């Protein structure tokens, strides 16, 4: 090594933010949440960040329960999506695992997660007509993929046991 050359600083590793979303349809309507954001009240799928120690399917079930007060069991992967969100001082790329599944019972006495104002059921046309209120462009994309019948086996997303180890 040439002693006159300074070592090259390491290049920061790009780390997308892993999120999960529940695509919940019943009788031609989709279950959405209305939530507070810095940009005002926005609509989104029940969704959130994947927590340490959980599989994407487990994270999706947890987020759906926290944001809707209903149990949700993922039965298929609708898709894996990348999107980028920018605002002054913030530039985040999201890696979203979207699952469809079965909506179970509501938990008596449960309250909606912080920031969630309400849940609502909307038709595909109502969702398409309200894009200015969407928190993410992935809301429509996931719905459209679901409507097309796009489904992948849950085994397509493998979680090694080491993820859940202490």
What pLDDT digit, counting tens, does each position of 26-64 carry? Answer: 999 999 999 999 999 999 999 999 999 999 999 999 999
Q: Which pLDDT score is estimated for 10? A: 85
The residues with which 15 forms a beta bridge, in sequence order, are none
**Assigned token pair, 85:** 């969100």
User: Pairing relation of β-strands 40-44 and 29-37?
Assistant: antiparallel
Alpha helices in 10-97 (DSSP H): 56-68
Residue 165 has pLDDT above 90, yes or no: no
Q: Which pLDDT score is estimated for 118? A: 98
> Any idea where the domains of the chain sit in the sequence?
17-152
Q: Which CATH superfamily is domain 17-152 in?
A: Nucleoside Triphosphate Pyrophosphohydrolase (3.90.79.10)
In the chain, % helix, strand, coil (3-state, to 5) comes to 20, 40, 35
Of the pLDDT bands very low, low, confident and very high (cuts 50, 70, 90), residue 1 is low
What pLDDT digit, counting tens, does each position of 67-115 carry? Answer: 999 999 999 999 999 999 988 888 999 999 999 999 999 999 999 999 9
What pLDDT digit, counting tens, does each position of 139-157 carry? Answer: 999 999 999 999 999 999 9
Which positions ≥6 away from 85 have C-beta within 8 Å?
91, 92, 93, 94, 136
Gap between the Cα atoms of 101 and 77, Å rounded: 9
Alpha helices in the chain (DSSP H): 56-68, 124-128, 138-147
Task: Name the DSSP letter for residue 7.
Answer: P
Task: Name the DSSP letter for residue 152.
Answer: B
């Amino acid at each position: 090594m040439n002693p006159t050359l300074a070592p090259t600083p390491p290049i920061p590793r790009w780390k997308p933010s892993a999120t999960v979303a529940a695509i919940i349809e019943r009788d031609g309507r989709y279950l959405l949440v209305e939530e507070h954001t810095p940009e005002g009240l926005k609509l989104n799928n029940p969704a959130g960040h994947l927590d340490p120690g959980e599989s994407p399917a487990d994270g999706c079930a947890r987020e759906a329960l926290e944001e809707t007060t209903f149990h949700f069991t993922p039965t298929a992967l609708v898709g894996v999506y990348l999107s980028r969100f920018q605002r002054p001082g913030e530039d985040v790329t999201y890696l979203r695992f979207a699952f469809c599944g079965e909506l179970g019972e509501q938990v008596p006495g449960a309250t909606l997660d912080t920031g969630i104002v309400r849940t609502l059921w909307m038709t595909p046309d109502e969702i398409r007509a309200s894009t200015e209120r969407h928190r993410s462009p992935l809301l429509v994309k996931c719905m459209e993929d679901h409507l097309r019948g796009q489904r992948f086996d849950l085994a397509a997303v493998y979680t090694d046991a080491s993820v859940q180890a202490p």
